[in-house]
Structure 1
Amino acid sequence: MTDIHPREILITTIARLLDGVRHVAVGASSPIPAAGAMLLRALKQRAGAPPVRISILGSVEHNFFTNGSAELFDCAGQGRIDAFFLGGGQIDGHGNINLVGIGDYPASAPRWPGSFGSAYLYFVVPRVILFREEHSPRVLVETVDFTSAPGVSEPGIHRTGGPVALLTGKALFRFDKARPGFTLESLHPGHALAEVRDATGFSFDHAGQPPQTALPDRATLELLRGQVMDELAETYPEFASQMRREIHA
């Protein structure tokens, strides 16, 4: 098979994590999650399965909202969004995310863009996938410096949403809200368990020999490099061009 780009593994993994959703929403600066959602839609179309609706904030072609994030929040609160993606400057072992900054608030330095609607969406979207391409101890920490959105809630708090997985450039983790904590599901090609342990600031469960993250087959790869990249270019032209250059280098 043609050499597979590391980001193509992330995109196809996202498509698998989204399998079964009816409507997935993607933030404005999320080309890899958007590509994963588009790949799932393309695979369903090819199989003649029910269509998948994708809402990408900032896109003209792939967004049916007319009132931006306000409409996204209304839709999520009504239970009409099945999946969403959240990242963070910091993510800890309980699924808490920090989008504010490093150090004690309000003297955080550096400061990041802010929490925006992350806590609300974390509570109401049933399948939240945490995504951060960088996998390092400065991102994956034992405890976040500021909680923009909590991974779990105390008993008695009504919550229909929360994290189901954490995907990074090195590995895929599943989240168990009962513990709460992460379990390593698979390692991406070229990465070892010892390396992932060293790069992760929180503890996690794992099998003695974690499996490798599944690779896309030839047909899926062709679909991703053709139709999906064409669709992605409408919203993320620079990302799509860069991916094509690196694939054909």
Structure 2
Amino acid sequence: MTDVVDLSRLVARVEDGSTIAFGGKTLHRAPMAFVRELVRADVSDLVPIGLANSMDIDLLAGTGQLEAACYGYVGFEAFGLAPNTRRAIEDGTLEAREGTCYTVATALRAAMQGVPFLPIAGLDGSDLLEIGDDYLAEATDPFTGESTYAVRRVEPDIAVIHATEVDTDGNARFDGADLTENLVAKAADRVFVTAERVVDADAFTDDPGSTDVPGVLVDAVAEVPDGAHPCSCPGSYDYDREHLEQYLEAASSGDLEAYLSKYVGPDEDHYRDRAVADRREVLEWSARQSAVSSDGGVDDGGSIEAESRTTDSSGAVTSETASSNAASSDHRHDPEPAIDCTIAEVMTVAIARRLEEISVAFQGFASPLPTVALRAARERAGTTHLSASGAMNGSPAETPLSTEDARLLEGAPAHFSSPEAFDLAARGGVDVMFVGGAQVDRRGRLNNTVAGSWADPTVKFGGGGGAGSLLPLVEEAWAWRTEHRARSLPAEVDFTTAEGNLTYLVTPLCEFERRDGELQVVSIHPGVSREEIRERTGWDVRFASSEVDETPLPTDEELEALERVDPTRVRRSGFETLSALE
């Protein structure tokens, strides 16, 4: 039987030392009201579990309530890294049990099936195997004798999910694709649901097929309006960019106490009054929210510079002119709205042209530029576009900045969960996967884990993500960067998060292909010299031929295609500077 309780009584059921799997993914459908109540109740020594998380884990890291974290990624997509999580891991106060999104999903599946471990494909060459020997291991296939890998079961004490509505028997519904909700609910010992509204037990009987999580799994529910804010609750409200920026500023400066006092306060009524009351109109799901940061740009979540907007190494565009121009333009994501063609268009079109020969491609989170390229290639050549949002061939009017956004499901003929996309890649069903890397070295290895060493990190990045498992499994992996510097393109990465089939890299200076075991320049962008590429690359770069071609500028037709699929120009987010190319 499912209990209907208020939020404080729901959280009172959480013991110190509990392992908690949070539903949702990155900035979407995270159970943030439950997290805030954990802060108020001062529940300690918690171990959160998640595939890809953001503020849910980061807030608890900042309040010192975590003993460890089991994760594939913790970060804020295009808004940068998770300041509190990063700081706690760097100073050794938080134990990091880092894997990939796929290893965490597999660990939860083992719990769901009641087995001690499950085999997993991928991970070849990854240093994650060395740091994760308590939960990742090499194994032998008992039938063939071949080498494989195994993931140890992780059974959460509690799973917490946020739904649009739940009935009094615990049956939960939400708009958008199943991100991780069924996975965590079926793996956990107990399941708690917060929801925008609780409805009568017979409310879903006319359409049982639309129930997303069945009540038989659910132990208790609580009605909590705005319970995912400042993350999104698809169909109800968007994630709150302004509030997230305030949080990131407070967390980056180390002044979290002021944020807690102002917003978290004694209860959710206080929070709604301070954080939501004046934002409802702009956050309404159908509303258009300005996507340019208050400093005029958006951090590059896949960049080594994406530490926080308060540091000198930020990748954001900081021009006051850019901010005012963007705010007054229909191109809300664009720091240079008067310019038709910049390096962002050159890079996007370069990718789109290559995609015309590709059957199936997958883009993960924090990847607006490849998402736009995929949508353009879908329109022109019929490339099948799989999105981290759970969409196949979505066709929204605008490409959203967050590539986990449920708006990418608009017009999609089918939905899927993230683990299902990983499964498809594992069995060879994905031709190209797009990957970001804080570091990419000459051999095409990726580092999304740490700068420095694991034992003594100088910067903690977001985590293994999807690439750590899938780079050896997909036919090809293509990478992109919104800046080109020697420290992010070193001869050797500091930590090998992923090694495998990375065959292509595009940067603001050039295009690389992997030939003879290393990345070589195959195309130089307009206005760029060989000397500049050499100076800004961390290895003795090779050019594929004595006469490397200049990357062709986009045609008028190609630029028009980009404007159709990306009228707000999210493809331009994350670049340090943008100037006209003619």
Task: Tell me the CA shift for residue 242 of structure 1.
Answer: 7.0
Give 5+ residue unaligned stretches, structure 2: 1-338, 389-403
The residue type equivalent to 1:52 in the other structure is: T
Contact 1:135-1:200 at 8 Å conserved across structures: yes
Contact 2:372-2:571 at 8 Å conserved across structures: no
In 2, distance between residues paired with 1:239 and 1:224? 10
Counterpart of 2:397? none
Counterpart of 1:156? none
Contact 1:55-1:65 at 8 Å conserved across structures: no
Counterpart of 2:549? 211
1:126-176 CA-to-partner distances (Å, cap 9, x unmatched) read 12102112100110001111000114xxxxxxxxxx111111111001112
Change (3 A) 1:21 1:61: farther
Contact 1:127-1:163 at 8 Å conserved across structures: yes
In 1, distance between residues paired with 2:343 and 2:526? 8
The residue type equivalent to 2:478 in the other structure is: I
Counterpart of 1:158? none
Give 5+ residue unaligned stretches, structure 1: 45-50, 152-161
2:366 to 21, 25, 29: 29
Change (3 A) 1:202 1:90: same
In 2, distance between residues paired with 1:19 and 1:88? 24
Q: How does 1:65-214 map to 2 (within 5 A)?
A: 65-67=415-417, 69-151=418-500, 162-176=501-515, 179-206=516-543, 207-214=545-552
Task: Tell me the CA shift for residue 240 of structure 1.
Answer: 6.4
In 1, distance between residues paired with 2:537 and 2:553? 23
Change (3 A) 1:65 1:125: farther
The residue type equivalent to 1:218 in the other structure is: D
1:43 aligned onto 2:380: yes
Name the SS for the 2:459 alignment partner: coil
The residue type equivalent to 2:529 in the other structure is: A
Moved over 3 A (4+): 61-66, 240-243
Contact 1:100-1:108 at 8 Å conserved across structures: no
Counterpart of 1:157? none
In 1, distance between residues paired with 2:571 and 2:370? 13
Name the SS for the 1:42 alignment partner: helix
The residue type equivalent to 1:212 in the other structure is: E
In 2, distance between residues paired with 1:66 and 1:163? 25
1:181-239 CA-to-partner distances (Å, cap 9, x unmatched) read 122111111211000000000223213342210111111111212x2114xx6xxxx82
Name the SS for the 1:219 alignment partner: helix
Task: Tell me the CA shift for residue 24 of structure 1.
Answer: 1.1
Name the SS for the 1:140 alignment partner: coil
Task: Tell me the CA shift for residue 17 of structure 1.
Answer: 2.2
Change (3 A) 1:242 1:90: closer
Name the SS for the 2:478 alignment partner: strand
In 2, distance between residues paired with 1:19 and 1:242? 24
In 1, distance between residues paired with 2:540 and 2:572? 37
Counterpart of 2:356? 19
Contact 1:173-1:184 at 8 Å conserved across structures: yes
1:41-82 CA-to-partner distances (Å, cap 9, x unmatched) read 1112xxxxxx32212211435454432x21111111122211
In 2, distance between residues paired with 1:194 and 1:210? 13
Task: Tell me the CA shift for residue 35 of structure 1.
Answer: 0.7
The residue type equivalent to 1:210 in the other structure is: V
Change (3 A) 1:9 1:123: same
Change (3 A) 1:241 1:208: closer
Name the SS for the 1:222 alignment partner: helix
Contact 1:54-1:62 at 8 Å conserved across structures: no
Percent identical:
27
The residue type equivalent to 1:173 in the other structure is: F
The residue type equivalent to 1:167 in the other structure is: V
Task: Tell me the CA shift for residue 107 of structure 1.
Answer: 1.8
Change (3 A) 1:75 1:61: farther
Structure with the larger RCO, 1 or 2 (CA within 8 Å, 6+ apart): 1
Counterpart of 1:221? 559
In 2, distance between residues paired with 1:65 and 1:21? 21
1:54 to 362, 377, 385: 385
In 1, distance between residues paired with 2:512 and 2:376? 21
Change (3 A) 1:185 1:92: same
Task: Tell me the CA shift for residue 90 of structure 1.
Answer: 0.9
Contact 2:438-2:447 at 8 Å conserved across structures: yes
